[in-house]
Structure 1
Amino acid sequence: MEEYIFLLILLFLLQFSVSFATSNETDQQALLAFQNLITSPSHFLANNWTNNTYFCSWFGVTCTSKTQRFGALTLPNLQLQGTISPFLANLSFLDVLNLGNNNFHGGIPYGLGHLPCLRVIDVQNNQLEGSIPTSLFQHQKVQVISLGFNKLGGEMWKGPWCVPKLRVLNLKNNSLTGFVTATLFNISSLRVLSLGIKRLSGPLLLDERNIVSNIEFLSISNNQISGCIPSNICQLTKLKVLSRAFNNITGEIPRNIDCLSKLEQFLIGDNPIEGTIPTSLGNISTLQYIYCGNNRIVGKIPQELGKLSNLRQLNFASNYNLIGQIPEAIFNISSLEIIDFNFNSLSGRIPVTTGLHLPNLKVLELGANQINGEIPLFITNASKIEKLVLARNFLTGAIPNNLGNLQVGSNPLIGILPNSIGNLSSTVEYFEIGYAHINGLIPISIGNISGLTALYFEDNNLAGNIPSEIGLVDNELPRLIPECLEGKVLEDIGGLKAIVELHLSGNHFSGMIPSRFGELQNLQSLDLSNNSFFGQIPSSFSNLISLEFLNLSLNAFSSTISMSLEKLSSLKSINVSFNDLKGEIPSGGVFANSTLQSFLGNKGLCGVHILEIPACAITNPGQQSKLKEVVLKIVSPMVISSFLIFLLVSIWIMKRQKKGKSKDVEKALEIKTHQLITYHKIQQATNNFDESNLIGVGSFGSVYKGTLSGGKCSGNKAISKFMAYTETLGTLGYIAPEYGLEGIVSANGDVYSYGIMLMEVLTKRRPIDEEICNENLDLRKWITQSFSGTMMDVLDANLFSKEEQITSKSESCIACTMELAFDCTKEMPESRITMKDVVKRLNKIKNTFLES
């Protein structure tokens, strides 16, 4: 008997060992089949998974301690590429499959849903496609299904959901369609439900019966969910995160929303939700994040929100119809990091209580409201602030001395930028102060803000140079738009290594462009138009490998266009119009698709690929030699013959006119004996322009007769001789000083006359008006003496209609035009600007005015 028992035991052990060996062989072959379909960096997986080593010791493989059978495959975050082998379905003891954050493509093997021991399947953040095996949604032991951030498609599973142990269902960022079934909320084990899929639709309905739900995280954002927030949402008593943003949810926020007493995140922004903010929202003491931006909520902000002592983010931006004053208690929540009420209709003042304390505040955005009063000093206590937006309100007063990290544009502020701006934290990134009536210079201390990424100065009264210290900011400066600045561009511009967009158009910059521009290899857009730059376009521009838009128009560049610009593969648009460029236009790269508009106003440019541009001269050596041969054989004899004929005819004409020559000499001598006539002599000759000497009135003024001192002829005759001598017509009051005093005629005199005409248009005063002549002044000096602080003192009162409001933009336009007139009428001819510069300045003034 004992022998039989021994034989049975021996037979059992033999069968078990054979079965164990067979099972291990099956597991190893399945893993090797998986490994054959993927690649890994440096092939580390192929080098580690070999037949020479026991598979339970392979990287990422875990075996059970008792049976030594394969149990888990964990290979996340390894940059693996390939497809998931269907042979993994042969791993009958597989309970954890984690291949997340790799580059797998293809589908999810259908057989994985039938593995009896499977508890976790995590393949999120890959490129998987196809449908989801429905067997996963009917698995009795599965606890985690994480398939988010793939390209999985098909219809959302409608049920039945036979997953009694499921804790996490993550299908976020896929392409599933359908709707969310109510039975999902009946899975009592479910804790996390993430369905931000973009294509789910229909209402979100909870079971009308009493349910026992333990869901803590519910996210269905970024879909097409419609309907209202369910009235029985209070059944989700353990909910901590409710995210329904970016959908089509309508209705109002439930008045009893405080039934979700454990809620930490309430994110319902970007929906057409209406109604008012329920006061009960302030009763949820656990709340940390409230995002209700881009809704249609109206009414006042409840005082109760000031009780949320754990709140970190409060966002009701872009509701447009929130009214009233912001409760003071909100500014005393010490945990707050972000406050955003941009684009509403809030009014009143920002609380000025000195006891307010915001030690963690990073962002305060109150722009585009109707807030008035001054900027409160308590904001300066927010030591961590990174962005302060107060633009487009009715704030008044000066900028606080210890405040600089701000966006306060379009407020009727006054004063200057304080030097204390440079004391700000290096975390400051965005600085905007456009349309704020700020004057003076840009403080050099602004260069101390090392974290600066955006700087806006447009439409103020700033003057002077851009401080060179800005060039020390080694960060991205996406947009620099000052107005009325002058001088040269920073020599240290190359220090702005991360700059992506630089706009300096419409200022008074001059000089040559620094070659260090070529170091800005992240620069995408460069606009230097409407300035006075001259010289060559730097060859270093060919190093701007990221450049997409280049505008150099309305300057005075005089070189050729470098052929190296053809190599800028990212360049989409170039404009070099209205310069003094010459030579051939490149034909490759961006130039191949450029039009005439990009090259207008450059008379010296030529090329063949743009029809309206003249062709360049032939430069081919072979063609040149042929051309010389033609010239020598045909053209030269013709030229010589024509010259001989011209010579004979000239001799004949000279003989016939010999007698008339002496008479011409006498006339010339007579003309040369005439004396120079000054303005004061003309004034005496006409008896100080007495009306009895008035002959007539022309388009540029009156014409008088007079007799010069010592002359026997009549006034008409004397003046006619004066005109014959100079051979230049001029009208008193408009002629340049050097012409009246010394008889010097030049183009600079025309510029002077144009400047006087500009002054006449702006002031409605003629240079020979009685009030000007009586004081022995010219029009320029009269304007200077009459100016008492604002250009409107001397401006023609009828230049603007009574109904038309005089804005700072129009006043700036008038001031710039008058400044141009003064530059045209400087006493020394060489100090006046040229008419070409006059045209540029007028274009600049026009463009600046029209942009408003």
Structure 2
Amino acid sequence: MNSRQPVCSLFSSLNAFLFYGIVIFLTTNNTNATISSSSSYDYRNQTDRLALLSFKSLITHDPYGALTSWNTSFHFCDWSGVTCGKRHKRVIGLQLISQGLEGSLSPHVGNLSFLRELRLGNNSFHRTIPHELGRLFWLCVLNIVENEFSGVIPTNLLGSLNLETFQLGANELVGSIPKEISLLSKLNYLVVGNNHLTCGIPGITRTVIHFRESVWWEHSRHLWPFEKLKTILLRWLLQLRDNDLSGILPPSISNCSKLREFEMSINRFSGKLTIEFSKLTDINHIGLCNIFESREANEIKSIDSLNNCSKLEILIMRNCNFKGALLRSIGNLSDHLAILDLSENKLYGNLSSSIGNLVGLTHLAYNRLTGKISSTIGKLQKLQFVVFNDNQFLGPIPDTIGNWSMINRLGIDSNELEGIIPLSLGNCYRLKVLYRDNNRLSGNIPKQLLQLSSLSIGVDLSHNNLSGSLPSEIGDLKMLSFLKLSHNDLSGNIPSSLSGCSSLSYLYINDNLFQGMLQPSLSSMRGLVELDLFHNNLSGNIPRFLEGFSSLQALNMSFNDFEVEVPVRGVFANANGISIAGNRKLCGGLKRKDQPSQSSTNERFLKVFYIQLLKTTDGFSETSLIGKGGSSSIYKGLLEHDDRFVSVKVLHLQTQGARKKFIRECEARWSVRHRNLLKIITSCSSVDFQGNDFKALIYDYMSNGSLHDWIHLSVHASRLNLPQRINILIDIASALDYLHNFCGPTIVHCDLNPSNILLDDDMVAHVGDFGLTRFLETNSDLNSTSGVKGTIGYV
């Protein structure tokens, strides 16, 4: 059969030639009267004209009137989207991009024998691609991306040996890419992504493969067998992101000395990164984010080899499993560098003062670094986006960050920073969002910060040691969407000027020392969705205006000193949206039978003190000890006036991160309730008899210990039968399903392992230890640059 294909192909081409010749002849005779009136038309011009009219005849919808001018009143060279040569008046270009055209593509376009550019991208052409396009010998550019073409790529379409740009992306094409593509010696731009193509790209040596991250070209699958590729000689750019490419990332890419853009993010390569970047002297964009499926460590020297890349503007090597100390030579990278992202790796050490040399930086992200933040960072005056979260930075925040006049997002949360918030931050007049939570910052909230009218997204200063009152300037943040000041030592009245934050949706000022009444002026904040006032010293009546907040979905007023009657309308009618426990002077409200009683709510927040826990655990003795970890010890005890055993988890506060784990566990446990989650009875935050901080969590006691014991200890191994194992798995899955899908915000446990699965008297499993919990409150949290923490192997 293979030996007959050339004959059949030739016969088919001859038939097609004769057929269309007869059609043109008959059509020409039938329209002779029309064309005789225009002496400018000759036979060849008429061929082009009829081909264009055939194109128009198959268009079923033209919403913008792109083809309105295609009539006898105008010469076809003057028709919209048509370009003709100056000498012979033959069609050399047809450009109708993004015109909303619907219909099929006429095979008569193949009669436009002088056509050099055919651009029909972003329309709604359907059916197959006419194989007659293969006649267009002079065609240089074919762009039919983002249409609805189906079927295979016609083999003879690649007969246009002058093709330089070949764009078929974002259609419904199937099958493989024809091997004849290897004959296109002039091809330098190929787009085939976002189709249903299979197999590899055969015999490519000089072609640019471009699957840009966009609606058009991402998510193409298995299109290039990298593991079989030995030689690559690419020009300009290589973009293959958002695919399932596997195998070894070829070291031969090092030989692409003219390569300018190298974008391979989000794939599944194995092995190590062995590309020698020092040879890519023209490179300006490197994107290697989440490219390795295997977790073999990469040498940090790969970054050092970039010092020769003097034209580099974008460097993204996020989550590439780099290990080692951050090189001091980081400041020797290109002074054209604008984006530098090495986050979600295992880099450690100090942030070199040489970072100040990269004066062109606009984006900067790191992680796992230690030491102080060098004041030289203030030289980076073009910075717009900084992510330093989840590092181990120490000491004060340098005052030189006030030089970042163009910064709009600043994230330095979850570090060990201390000292005051620099007043110079008030110079960052383009700042939109600020994260400085989970540090050791102290002092007052500077009014200069609250006078930044640019703050429109949010401010998070929670989990610090801030004190003093909330400045009245808070009311200047009229466009602010969220404000988080929880877990500090802020005091005084809640200023009435807070009502100026008319766009505020989320307000968290829980776990502070605020006092006094809620001011009537706050009634203007009707856009609030969540309001958390938990654990302050607020007093007076619960304002009736809260009943009228139609957007309010969650209101926590627990453990304050509110009094008199609880309102019954609005959010107060929803027992799942309101918490008022610990206000002893309140009465009324929440009377529906299907809602929990006040006593059952109070039970969750039982108050215990250090002396009580000391007694119930026999002085935290070894005989009461039932478990021990790096950041806590767990004791068994019997609560006074309560006929039940409990587990007392005492935090080792001298251990790094223990305080954060305590806070996160409290937040997680008080926002969830499920039969397969280990129930928290209460917590204790106090001081011991030596005046040291003391923090503990009290849980239901699990008599059958942990799943780890049943799996790994010989005393239990023979007693865990198959039905029990299945039931335990179901219990765990039920708990995770609830955390992921049925509580708000979504909670990710991050430390699920057999030691944290506890079994009660009936062998029912309960998921415990929420010290590494993450809350996914917004869509952006799903793409957080924070690294995954927890027990590797179980995560």
Percent identity between the aligned chains? Answer: 25
TM (normalized to structure 2)? Answer: 0.61
Q: Does 1:64 align with 2:85?
A: yes
Aligned residue number for residue 312 of structure 1: 338
Q: 1:391 to 1:32 in 2, by over 3 A?
A: closer
Which SS does the other structure have where 2:372 is aligned?
coil
- In the TM superposition, what is the alpha-carbon distance from 1:763 to its structure 2 partner? 7.0
Aligned residue number for residue 143 of structure 1: 164
Q: Does 1:413 align with 2:441?
A: yes
Match of 2:247 among 227, 251, 267: 227
The answer on whether the counterparts of 1:171 and 1:196 sit within 8 Å (CA) in structure 2 is no
The answer on whether the counterparts of 1:124 and 1:146 sit within 8 Å (CA) in structure 2 is yes
Aligned residue number for residue 365 of structure 2: 340
Aligned residue number for residue 434 of structure 1: 462
The answer on whether the counterparts of 2:571 and 2:578 sit within 8 Å (CA) in structure 1 is no
Aligned residue number for residue 287 of structure 2: 267
- In the TM superposition, what is the alpha-carbon distance from 1:482 to its structure 2 partner? 4.1
Return the alpha-carbon distance in structure 2 between the equivalents of residues 282 and 92 of structure 1.
50
- In the TM superposition, what is the alpha-carbon distance from 1:286 to its structure 2 partner? 1.2
User: Over residues 726-778 of structure 1, what are the superposed CA-to-partner deviations in whole Å (9 max), with x where a residue is unaligned?
Assistant: xxxxxxxxxxxxxxxxxxxxxxxxxxxxxxxx9998878xxxxxxxxxxxxxx
- In the TM superposition, what is the alpha-carbon distance from 1:399 to its structure 2 partner? 2.0
The answer on whether the counterparts of 1:473 and 1:496 sit within 8 Å (CA) in structure 2 is no
The answer on whether the counterparts of 2:115 and 2:138 sit within 8 Å (CA) in structure 1 is yes
- In the TM superposition, what is the alpha-carbon distance from 1:365 to its structure 2 partner? 1.7
Q: Does 1:112 align with 2:142?
A: no
Which SS does the other structure have where 2:176 is aligned?
coil
- In the TM superposition, what is the alpha-carbon distance from 1:221 to its structure 2 partner? 1.4
Matched residue type, 1:281? L
Match of 1:445 among 447, 462, 473: 473
Return the alpha-carbon distance in structure 2 between the equivalents of residues 850 and 479 of structure 1.
27
Aligned residue number for residue 317 of structure 2: 292
How do residues 587-736 of structure 1 correspond to structure 2 at under 5 angstroms? 599-601=595-597
Aligned residue number for residue 488 of structure 1: 518
Match of 1:239 among 259, 262, 268: 259
Superposition RMSD in Å: 4.4
Matched residue type, 1:265? H
TM (normalized to structure 1)? Answer: 0.58
Q: 1:511 to 1:268 in 2, by over 3 A?
A: same
Aligned residues between the structures: 564
Return the alpha-carbon distance in structure 2 between the equivalents of residues 158 and 199 of structure 1.
18
Unaligned runs of 5+ in 1: 1-12, 542-548, 557-577, 584-595, 604-757, 765-798, 817-848
Matched residue type, 1:511? P
How do residues 62-211 of structure 1 correspond to structure 2 at under 5 angstroms? 62-181=83-202, 183-187=203-207, 196-200=218-222, 203-204=225-226
Aligned residue number for residue 11 of structure 2: none
Return the alpha-carbon distance in structure 1 between the equivalents of residues 297 and 163 of structure 2.
41
Q: 1:387 to 1:490 in 2, by over 3 A?
A: farther
Matched residue type, 1:30? S
- In the TM superposition, what is the alpha-carbon distance from 1:57 to its structure 2 partner? 2.7
Match of 1:26 among 38, 44, 50: 50
Matched residue type, 1:417? I
The answer on whether the counterparts of 2:339 and 2:363 sit within 8 Å (CA) in structure 1 is yes
User: Over residues 515-563 of structure 1, what are the superposed CA-to-partner deviations in whole Å (9 max), with x where a residue is unaligned?
Assistant: 7745x6xxxx83124556943535999xxxxxxx99533459xxxxxxx
Return the alpha-carbon distance in structure 2 between the equivalents of residues 186 and 20 of structure 1.
36
Aligned residue number for residue 424 of structure 1: 452
Return the alpha-carbon distance in structure 1 between the equivalents of residues 400 and 501 of structure 2.
28
Match of 1:329 among 318, 342, 354: 354
User: Over residues 669-688 of structure 1, what are the superposed CA-to-partner deviations in whole Å (9 max), with x where a residue is unaligned?
Assistant: xxxxxxxxxxxxxxxxxxxx
Which SS does the other structure have where 2:290 is aligned?
coil
User: Over residues 621-663 of structure 1, what are the superposed CA-to-partner deviations in whole Å (9 max), with x where a residue is unaligned?
Assistant: xxxxxxxxxxxxxxxxxxxxxxxxxxxxxxxxxxxxxxxxxxx
- Which structure carries more helix by proportion? 1
Return the alpha-carbon distance in structure 2 between the equivalents of residues 307 and 232 of structure 1.
25
Return the alpha-carbon distance in structure 1 between the equivalents of residues 75 and 481 of structure 2.
56
How do residues 349-360 of structure 1 correspond to structure 2 at under 5 angstroms? 349-353=372-376, 356-360=378-382
Matched residue type, 1:442? L
- In the TM superposition, what is the alpha-carbon distance from 1:388 to its structure 2 partner? 2.2
- In the TM superposition, what is the alpha-carbon distance from 1:270 to its structure 2 partner? 0.5
Matched residue type, 1:426? S
- In the TM superposition, what is the alpha-carbon distance from 1:428 to its structure 2 partner? 6.3
The answer on whether the counterparts of 1:513 and 1:537 sit within 8 Å (CA) in structure 2 is no
Return the alpha-carbon distance in structure 2 between the equivalents of residues 251 and 760 of structure 1.
54
Q: 1:196 to 1:402 in 2, by over 3 A?
A: same
Which SS does the other structure have where 1:295 is aligned?
coil
Q: 1:802 to 1:511 in 2, by over 3 A?
A: closer
- In the TM superposition, what is the alpha-carbon distance from 1:83 to its structure 2 partner? 4.1
Matched residue type, 1:186? R
Does 1 or 2 have the higher relative contact order (CA < 8 Å, sep 6+)?
A: 2
Greater CA radius of gyration, 1 or 2?
A: 1
- In the TM superposition, what is the alpha-carbon distance from 1:299 to its structure 2 partner? 0.3
Q: 1:389 to 1:32 in 2, by over 3 A?
A: closer
How do residues 810-821 of structure 1 correspond to structure 2 at under 5 angstroms? none
Return the alpha-carbon distance in structure 1 between the equivalents of residues 41 and 106 of structure 2.
28
- In the TM superposition, what is the alpha-carbon distance from 1:347 to its structure 2 partner? 1.6
Which SS does the other structure have where 1:513 is aligned?
helix
Aligned residue number for residue 305 of structure 2: 280
User: Over residues 690-737 of structure 1, what are the superposed CA-to-partner deviations in whole Å (9 max), with x where a residue is unaligned?
Assistant: xxxxxxxxxxxxxxxxxxxxxxxxxxxxxxxxxxxxxxxxxxxxxxxx
